[in-house]
């Protein structure tokens, strides 16, 4: 009996090692569930560039946008769990949408194999450079003097950008209007044109326009100032606590991925993330590298489902 158990264990380990050695056997797809040109797309291309050499196969970034990230996320959830189809997404499609959508076609807890968290991305509260608003206090006063006419942009409903605006609306008792766009580039361009009054913009998107003098930064979210914009104080420093939310991106695979393939992918992606030059490039875009274990990623998703779910419920926001 013992011999048979040991033989079975050996065969299982041998099969797993063989699977890992044979992976990947063809090009990989890294699905980004948002339009090209945004911060998720940028990070996807940086990761694809970094892992294609060690894996020995091309890694193609595939943008499958729609329904606040649900289209691409659901596509990966229903793909074969062989490691050749991966998802790069974040808190919006993996945590916020659980509460925002009544009929989500996938379950972030059940339908994915976590690989690793990739980065944190603070958001920057910005207004057009031509705006008369020069501080958070100015913005709040401006909104209170014009109830129902001041609007703010977001990449789409259910993003952290949207919910931070909802938090401001509820916490400061403002009558402001949310205007969702199809992706971060479109939302930022609308702000630059003056079509909307303000935005909690992803730092990677806002930084070049802020540096060029086209946007005015009123503050950054999170618990500390960001290295790429040390002169911009946090909202908490200015007397507005509670804006601690940051966007984050992570890599996942469909549920049922072999542990050996999960480990191989995690090893290669984390190796890229921990490269000093990669971290420097990412920091220049306003992101902070923050890899972790699959268990840590699963815990993060669960925590943010609860955290952002409470805000979605209190705001009354729905996306169905």
Asked if residue 2 is part of any domain, the answer here is no
Q: Return the pLDDT at 314.
A: 75
Please give the residue range of the domain that contains residue 151: 123-229
Tokens of 48: 């694809």
Asked if residue 15 is part of any domain, the answer here is no
Mean pLDDT estimate for the chain: 90
4 pLDDT band (50/70/90 cuts)?
low
Q: Taking the model in full, what pTM does it have?
A: 0.82
* Residue labelled with tokens 């209190």: 314
pLDDT tens digit string along 95-145?
999 999 989 999 999 999 999 999 988 899 999 999 999 999 999 999 999
Contact 183, 38 (CB under 8 A): yes
The CA-to-CA distance between both ends of the chain, in Å, stands at 56
Q: Return the pLDDT at 22.
A: 85
Report the number of distinct structural domains present in the chain.
2
Same domain, 260 and 191: no
Judge whether residue 1 has pLDDT over 80. no
Same domain, 30 and 48: yes
| Between 158 and 69, the higher pLDDT residue | 69
Judge whether residue 274 has pLDDT over 90. yes
Same domain, 154 and 206: yes
- 3-state SS track over 81-118: CCCCEEEEEEHHHHHHHHHHCCCCCCCCCCCEEEEEEE
Contact 162, 170 (CB under 8 A): no
Backbone angles phi and psi of 141, in degrees to 5: -65, -45
Q: Return the pLDDT at 75.
A: 98
Q: Return the pLDDT at 7.
A: 47
DSSP annotation of 230 reads T
Backbone angles phi and psi of 40, in degrees to 5: -65, -45
Mean of pLDDT values over 147-176 = 92
Same domain, 129 and 101: no
d(CA 257, CA 254): 6
Residue that finishes a domain, picked among 229, 257, 292: 229
20 pLDDT band (50/70/90 cuts)?
low
Asked if residue 193 is part of any domain, the answer here is yes
Residue that finishes a domain, picked among 176, 196, 229: 229
């Amino acid at each position: 009996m013992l011999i048979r158990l040991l033989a079975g264990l050996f065969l299982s380990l041998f099969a797993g090692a063989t699977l890992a050695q044979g992976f990947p056997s063809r090009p990989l797809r890294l699905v980004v569930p948002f339009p090209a040109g945004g911060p998720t797309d940028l990070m996807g291309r940086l990761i694809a560039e970094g892992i294609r050499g060690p894996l020995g196969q091309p890694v193609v970034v595939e943008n499958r946008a729609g329904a606040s990230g649900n289209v691409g996320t659901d596509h990966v959830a229903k793909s074969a769990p062989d490691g050749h189809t991966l998802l790069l997404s974040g808190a919006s499609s993996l945590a916020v949408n659980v509460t925002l959508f009544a009929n989500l076609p996938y379950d972030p807890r059940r339908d994915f194999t976590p690989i690793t968290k990739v980065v944190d991305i603070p958001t920057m509260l910005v207004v057009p450079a031509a705006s008369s608003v020069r501080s958070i206090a100015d913005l709040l006063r401006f909104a209170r003097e014009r109830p129902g006419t001041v609007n703010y942009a977001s990449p789409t409903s259910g993003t952290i950008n949207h919910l931070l605006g909802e938090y401001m609306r509820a916490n400061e008792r403002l009558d402001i209007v949310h205007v969702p766009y199809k992706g971060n580039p479109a939302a930022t361009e609308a702000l630059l044109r003056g079509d909307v009054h303000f935005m909690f913009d992803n730092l990677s998107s806002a930084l070049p326009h802020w540096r060029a003098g086209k946007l005015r930064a009123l503050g950054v979210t999170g618990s500390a100032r960001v290295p790429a914009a040390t002169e911009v104080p946090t909202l908490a420093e200015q007397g507005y606590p509670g804006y601690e939310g940051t966007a984050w991106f992570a890599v996942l695979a469909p549920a049922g991925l072999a542990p050996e393939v999960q480990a191989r992918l995690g090893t290669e992606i984390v190796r890229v993330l921990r490269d000093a030059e990669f971290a420097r490039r990412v920091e220049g875009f306003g992101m902070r590298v923050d890899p972790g274990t699959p268990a840590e990623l699963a815990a993060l998703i669960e925590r943010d489902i609860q955290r952002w779910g409470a805000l979605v419920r209190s705001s009354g926001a729905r996306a169905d």
